[in-house]
Amino acid sequence: MALKGTDYFKFTPRTNCKACGKPTCLAFCMDVAAGKLEIAKCPHIKPEDLEKLSEASAPPMKTIKAGAGKAEFTLGGETVLFRHEKTFVSKSLYGVNVTGDTIDKMLPEIKKIDYVRIGERMFVEVLNIEFTGDKGKFLDAVKKANGAERLLILSVTDPAAAKEALDICKANKPILNGADESNCEAMNKLATEAGVTLGVRAKNLDALYDTVAKLEAGGNKNLVLDVGCGSVKEAFANAVQIRRAALKDQDRTFGYPSIVNVGKLSKGNHELEVALASIFTVKYGSIIILDSMDYAKALPLYGLRQNIFTDPQKPMKVEPGVYQLNGADTNALCLTTVDFALTYFIVAGEIERSGVPVNLIITDAGGYSVLTAWAAGKMTAGSIAKYVKENCGDKCKNQTLVLPGKVSVLKGELEESLPGWKIIIGTNEAVGIVKFLKDFKN
């Protein structure tokens, strides 16, 4: 049961000392109840009360860390059911099924999917290694996958095979996905000793609930829940009910991230597999496993994921920098525009279409479009000049800079701020860039 602001208020000294950053104790407690502040921000609450209240005020869904090094990922920690309420926290991870028979073929395949879109690396983050009955092949696959810099899931219910697999890869903090009603004690012991996350599965939701409760009673709260792969309907219903129970009903027994294997659900139908992966990206797969990944699957899926898991209140931005397009070197013409992702990709796309080498200078403009950034004082002659002086000295020897036509008003001031640079007014719209560049005589 979630605590209210007045419940927290009883534990404060009510001195309104403001050490927590709020004007009154009550205001602080209301923010704690709303999930905006942590109760620990008040330094005057007794340690024994703090422990109890921290537990009660923690997000209803646990945040789980799995993997290690470059393949360490955060799962869960969600606080809302719908993205329009608040930002989702931990993006879904995509993985592929591998076995001892397919690992050699699959490893080079997944490495082909690796690209950056709006500053985010898109790649296959997870390898789900399935135990198919042959321990030798399974362990061989674990050894090969262990060096792939991916989060590993050991999908195995046999404790003896699980132990040997963990001995190979436990330093990389895999997820041991195989605890069920029959083996949960043995698997719990293995996962706890290895310090890895335990995946829990069951024949239905009631059994899953009981198994999780049993594991929690044994002290393990480092869990992920497998929603099952009996049928699409059942897996989807399970994913939704688990998330609703955790977030809406505040039932922390189901307050864990989830795994869904759409490869198994789709039974070799690739179109259905992508459709299911899309559905579970929206509702509510923390890790989504496919049978394979290629660009035809990756482009729509990763694009969808990026849209779902970005904060709608923050504009999508690209990193400020000098982007060398069409093989530009230090002598290439310079263009500048804002860091709003949509603007960047349209402008960069038109420059690429022209084939003319260009150094595209992106300054920090708050993620706004050109006119909005200018009106908000985020794109000024001063900000452009400062960036160019600090970052472009050795990258741009050709000191000719093309300004977006819509901010031609900055030309005079920019010429004063950047002595030695020639400032040219470019086109009002990106669509004119190709002709402008082809006709341009430096």
Nearer CB in complex with ligand SF4: 15/269: 15
Nearer CB in complex with ligand SF4: 7/364: 7
13 binds ligand SF4 (CB under 6 A): yes
46 binds ligand SF4 (CB under 6 A): no
CA 147 to chain centre: 22
Q: Which two tokens stand for residue 301?
A: 């899926």
Residue 232 CB, shortest distance to ligand SF4, in Å, is 49
Q: Which two tokens stand for residue 346?
A: 């349209």
Name the DSSP class of 265. H
Residue 157 CB, shortest distance to ligand SF4, in Å, is 49
Whole-angstrom Cα Rg for the chain:
27
11 binds ligand SF4 (CB under 6 A): no
Among residues 7, 38, 44, 411, which is the contact residue for ligand SF4, using CB under 6 A? 44
Nearer CB in complex with ligand SF4: 37/290: 37
User: Of 52, 55, 26, 29, whose CA–CA distance to 41 is shortest?
Assistant: 29
Nearer CB in complex with ligand SF4: 23/147: 23
32 binds ligand SF4 (CB under 6 A): no
Going along 77-170, which residue ranges are E strands?
93-98, 114-117, 120-123, 126-130, 151-155
User: Is the bond into 284 cis (omega within 30 degrees of 0)?
Assistant: yes
Q: Helix axis angle, 270-282 relative to 295-308, nearest 10°?
A: 10
Residue 86 CB, shortest distance to ligand SF4, in Å, is 24
Distance, CA of 424 to CA of 403 (rounded, Å)? 6
Among residues 25, 239, 373, 396, which is the contact residue for ligand SF4, using CB under 6 A? 25
Cα–Cα separations (whole angstroms), residue 334 to 163, 390, 413, 418, 421: 58, 15, 18, 13, 10
218-247 positions binding ligand SF4, by CB under 6 A:
none
- Kind and range of the H or E element at 31? helix 25-33
Looking up tokens 């950047």 gives 418
CA 295 to chain centre: 19
Nearer CB in complex with ligand SF4: 44/83: 44
Residue 45 CB, shortest distance to ligand SF4, in Å, is 7
Among residues 2, 6, 10, 17, which is the contact residue for ligand SF4, using CB under 6 A? 17
Contact (Cβ atoms closer than 8 angstroms) between residue 62 and residue 55: no
Distance, CA of 151 to CA of 68 (rounded, Å)? 8
Window of 7-15, 347-355, 399-407, 410-418 that interacts with ligand SF4 by CB under 6 A: 7-15
Which residues, at least 6 apart from 377, have a Cβ–Cβ distance to it below 8 Å?
Answer: none
42 binds ligand SF4 (CB under 6 A): yes
Looking up tokens 């092949």 gives 137
Residue 56 CB, shortest distance to ligand SF4, in Å, is 16
6 binds ligand SF4 (CB under 6 A): no
Among residues 4, 10, 18, 203, which is the contact residue for ligand SF4, using CB under 6 A? 18
252 binds ligand SF4 (CB under 6 A): no
Residue 33 CB, shortest distance to ligand SF4, in Å, is 13
Residue 46 CB, shortest distance to ligand SF4, in Å, is 12
Residue 250 CB, shortest distance to ligand SF4, in Å, is 24
Residues within the interface to ligand SF4 (CB under 6 A): 12-13, 15-20, 22, 25, 28, 42, 44
